[in-house]
Structure 1
């Protein structure tokens, strides 16, 4: 029996009209479709990462930038706009926030249990999904228990149960490589026609590295493009009128290499694929970040000449591909297309303003687990033997930065333990995010000693960055630190109470590198300005730089753990960019910190004073911090510091004798 492609019902019309402010806008394709022409809308969610509610569990407060319950309002609106529509998901729905961790690590999944993300998706009537890399984070058994609750199929053409066959069509796959859905589509003249829609899915081959502990000896992955070249012709042979690729993969380089992580551009070149829904990169396409990218037409919404979309992440956008289909005899073909990533919020005065309200049925599907997760994140997952605060993070080695580096080093050392880089020393770069400044005198990390809850991690690490590692030399480590030291003004010997901090330099670019020891000579001018421009080539603020108790070898190679912002070139640090990246983790820095705390039980983030200021004869400097800093001044190591009265705008002022 064929299925109608979501004809407009009164309920959907009304809910869609409400989501769109009471006005239902027909797409131009729908308005001009004639006999033997039909308008089909493909709706995509991707990288939901268990975000059903518009709620940040780390910060323990609502967040208007996320949540499938919010995206659901747009879905209803789209169905009201177009009679012919399909809703599909592009993977990474199972892990990524504390609700996912709570179910996997605390509650568990028994046969027959319903995962809340699946319950929410069932409520919305998804028709197909593929697997993302994060589906494997909790192991294969857990994943398949979750998938069993879905009212829709999952497809993945490049995940095998063992070794790869000589021919991809002979691979022993875990799930179907594709499905062909028999649908009924209504043309512009109101006539119904049968159409067979093929959906094929792909996962990044890198899951074999990222989740080796779960997959080694149990699974293998095939190159995305090669899998598509094998299976898409069979889909056409079986009568698929149109073929949609569900590519949990970003766009990536223009030059093809086997087993690319981001292969969607080359996937688009496979004959027989009509449109691609993409993801994995946590971006919205079409969008400004894709301007000028080779093989991408941002204005037309195409990748490699094929209609494509990427619907953000965490439910932030609904990916939307509009296809104008023409019937030529018994066959359908795509004659035109448009693409859009439709957001659930907008930025007004740097604040998120919701564009839609949550759909109650979707929240209700996950409400019990939402409430249980709130209790979970408010419960201690470990202990800290020392307070975690950032009041002195800009002037001394700091416990709030130390714990981030400890977690990053622990994680990267494990991730690289079976790679060609396993014998290289691992350093870690981390910066204080909450360090006063424009955030005001209360804008500091402040977690007391004792129990530490998951939500406290948000106080340690503000941003949803992912862990990355770069390969650099000792000389580049020094230059990295020279750039960081640009946060300090030059200090004149013999002069009292000089202003220490250059307020034009953001604290999140003040990287402290753990694993080496060094001093900062403030009598020297900065080598780089806050934008990374070389301004004093001969300057050497970083002195006594040592590794393993000896002066650092400029030629020695080091792995430095950091985040995707810094490793990708953020902050314009010298010689640090994508060409230095050797590892891109599937995990956020926050998740890694949580795992580290759970693993350790009790963390001891007391600063080890691996960096300090070099003496400057007769000089003192002033800096401002939060008034609560007075409670921690006795704990500061390696700095002669004293209170110096009140600062401006509620800050407290301190003096350092150099």
Structure 2
């Protein structure tokens, strides 16, 4: 398959466009506010204090979002909040800021996770990998928009270090990661920081230091790709080493691009000595940082002020959500006195991509790539021996959810080592999309993706038999009680109102659990009280005991507490490669070519709704 075999540099790269040069120049001359000066941006003289306004824009967690497109819906992206995504939208926002502030007074930075997450990114990693002659669409777009630096995210390593190095060479700006160390040399594997020189219309240039920090969890999540090659230190520890170096190198402003969330926590517990989300700790514990562009957590933080404990000075944090849905804008007010620039104040805000149109120059730049990827997503990747529908998955055992559980459990089991490798593996899946249907015959990427409409990643945790039963009891709260055997319409049984779900328990908070090597079987007796509905729980035909230990394949939303299921948040994590479950399903079909429910779905149901010992009949 051939797409975009243009050599890098011949792609018709555009300047981030849409704004007349004259307008930007005039704005650049007018922006500096001169205290005690003549209002024209002249440099300091006679000991007077001069002011200057610097703007640094930031994105993060773009995850392969170049255009405002949902590849699985084959339509423009939209969600319940009507967010838009993609670098083409970001480009328009960036142009507007540059026009307002003057391009010479602005910088543009990213906080990582760029090359994984959409079908566009997958295509250029697996179907037609980038090379010396095949440029990554994200590189082309970011170069065209005019980024100045980017931190390395954890998902940058998903496709291996050589792939990342190829991407790095295609960029017109540096990838930064002060805490990614080469195991062979002990030195940084990427540039730790860069100092950009901003030149006001008049006066002494300003040096802006940008420090990149990545996530220590890479050592766990991408162990297969980095073990023995790279090690990852703590964000605070490395920042304490490099910020003083940046100041000695003349940095007037210090900005950190941190691929690490603001709220201190770790999905991997104490497995590593360094926390996963440490941006606030960096602000508190490392002096002389003015602002931090936060990434990784997929949160929207317009502005958060953290006080540095050593200096008492404020540090401003901002995180622009994800996928190009927002653009952070840091505004730095600088004073010049005694021959030096200093930061007087920092403000920040986020701009919303859904307020602007896509930059047509970026759309045109990526048009050929987009066409090929859309054709791929709608193309055939395998066949199914029979149709599978999720329409009834809320209230009866279906092959559609069995398929999800099988692929999840198989992926977790293949990665287990030591004593954990001998444990039975279970898996949970929810009926996310009752409209999902896999046809008999040809199956496309879009067909498979419809089964799993969220961007959850896969984990494996250890639960006891007692915890498995408690989990299933929580799940069974989804159902309304019945008086006895009979035939019931589905809406009389599902979406029960609970104290935590006053509008009814959503479908995504009902989980089906299944076994990999042996079936996990159970009944849900709706004549019993909530908390005692699970009966006949067995694995491989033998009753599950309270102290029996299982590995359970689970999504990150559940594992982090989503739905408030018992026992999972503190459970030992034995698998976490941060791989998207939806992509795992697509990869499985691509690799196996044939989907045969006989492989993963039993003839007899593994679970059923009952009234006592009598199965219920449920109608749509």
TM-score (norm 1): 0.78
* Secondary structure in structure 1 of the residue aligned to 2:72: coil
* Secondary structure in structure 2 of the residue aligned to 1:193: coil
User: 1:464 maps to what in 2?
Assistant: 455
Q: Is the 1:492–1:619 contact (alpha carbons within 8 Å) kept by the matching residues of 2? A: no
Q: Is the 1:29–1:324 contact (alpha carbons within 8 Å) kept by the matching residues of 2? A: no
Q: How far apart in 1 are the matches of 2:263 and 2:388?
A: 39
User: 1:66 maps to what in 2?
Assistant: 85
Deviation track 1:294-329 (CA, whole Å, cap 9, x = no partner) reads x859xxxxx994112111111100012111112232
Q: Does 1:404 align with 2:404?
A: yes
User: 2:358 maps to what in 1?
Assistant: 358
Q: Does 1:563 align with 2:555?
A: yes
User: 1:3 maps to what in 2?
Assistant: none
- CA 1:547/1:111 → structure 2, altered by over 3 Å: closer, same or farther? same
* Secondary structure in structure 2 of the residue aligned to 1:460: coil
* Secondary structure in structure 1 of the residue aligned to 2:427: strand
User: 1:270 maps to what in 2?
Assistant: 286
Task: Specify which of 537, 552, 566 is matched with residue 545 of structure 1.
Answer: 537
Deviation track 1:554-584 (CA, whole Å, cap 9, x = no partner) reads 1233332222222222223234436666655
Q: Is the 1:461–1:590 contact (alpha carbons within 8 Å) kept by the matching residues of 2? A: yes
User: 2:276 maps to what in 1?
Assistant: 261
TM-aligned CA deviation for residue 549 of structure 1: 2.6
Q: Is the 1:428–1:562 contact (alpha carbons within 8 Å) kept by the matching residues of 2? A: yes
* Secondary structure in structure 1 of the residue aligned to 2:206: strand
Q: Does 1:183 align with 2:166?
A: no
Q: Is the 1:497–1:619 contact (alpha carbons within 8 Å) kept by the matching residues of 2? A: no
User: 1:100 maps to what in 2?
Assistant: 121
Task: Specify which of 333, 345, 369 is matched with residue 342 of structure 2.
Answer: 333
Q: Is the 2:264–2:276 contact (alpha carbons within 8 Å) kept by the matching residues of 1? A: no
User: 2:101 maps to what in 1?
Assistant: 82
Aligned pairs for 1:417-496 (under 5 A) are 417-418=416-417, 421-435=420-434, 444-493=435-484
User: 2:3 maps to what in 1?
Assistant: none
Q: Is the 2:462–2:574 contact (alpha carbons within 8 Å) kept by the matching residues of 1? A: yes
Q: How far apart in 1 are the matches of 2:292 and 2:265?
A: 17
Q: How far apart in 2 are the matches of 1:310 and 1:68?
A: 16
Q: Is the 1:15–1:77 contact (alpha carbons within 8 Å) kept by the matching residues of 2? A: no
Q: How far apart in 2 are the matches of 1:9 and 1:375?
A: 29
Deviation track 1:463-516 (CA, whole Å, cap 9, x = no partner) reads 222223433322121121112222322222366657433452322122101112
Q: How far apart in 1 are the matches of 2:586 and 2:24?
A: 40
Deviation track 1:311-357 (CA, whole Å, cap 9, x = no partner) reads 11111000121111122323222221212122112xxxxxxxxx110
Q: How far apart in 2 are the matches of 1:617 and 1:27?
A: 80
Q: Is the 1:58–1:457 contact (alpha carbons within 8 Å) kept by the matching residues of 2? A: no
Deviation track 1:586-609 (CA, whole Å, cap 9, x = no partner) reads 222212222222233322335322
Task: Specify which of 51, 59, 71 is matched with residue 57 of structure 1.
Answer: 71
Q: Is the 1:389–1:445 contact (alpha carbons within 8 Å) kept by the matching residues of 2? A: yes
- CA 1:419/1:91 → structure 2, altered by over 3 Å: closer, same or farther? farther
Q: How far apart in 2 are the matches of 1:566 and 1:46?
A: 24
* Secondary structure in structure 1 of the residue aligned to 2:207: strand
Q: How far apart in 1 are the matches of 2:356 and 2:210?
A: 29
- CA 1:56/1:618 → structure 2, altered by over 3 Å: closer, same or farther? closer
User: 2:523 maps to what in 1?
Assistant: 519
Deviation track 1:231-266 (CA, whole Å, cap 9, x = no partner) reads 221122222222211111112427998322212112
TM-score (norm 2): 0.83
User: 1:137 maps to what in 2?
Assistant: 158
TM-aligned CA deviation for residue 147 of structure 1: 1.5
Deviation track 1:137-191 (CA, whole Å, cap 9, x = no partner) reads 111222111211211122211222215x7xxxxx3222221111222135xxxx4
Q: How far apart in 2 are the matches of 1:182 and 1:543?
A: 69
TM-aligned CA deviation for residue 112 of structure 1: 4.2
User: 1:211 maps to what in 2?
Assistant: 222
Q: Does 1:501 align with 2:497?
A: no
Q: Is the 1:518–1:542 contact (alpha carbons within 8 Å) kept by the matching residues of 2? A: yes
Q: Is the 1:276–1:308 contact (alpha carbons within 8 Å) kept by the matching residues of 2? A: yes
Q: How far apart in 2 are the matches of 1:227 and 1:404?
A: 41
Question: What 5-or-longer segments of structure 2 have no aligned partner?
Answer: 1-14, 38-48, 79-83, 497-503
Question: What 5-or-longer segments of structure 1 have no aligned partner?
Answer: 1-5, 18-23, 166-170, 298-302, 346-354, 436-443, 528-539, 625-658
Q: How far apart in 2 are the matches of 1:602 and 1:453?
A: 12
- CA 1:203/1:422 → structure 2, altered by over 3 Å: closer, same or farther? farther
- CA 1:284/1:422 → structure 2, altered by over 3 Å: closer, same or farther? farther
Q: How far apart in 1 are the matches of 2:313 and 2:545?
A: 46
RMSD: 3.2
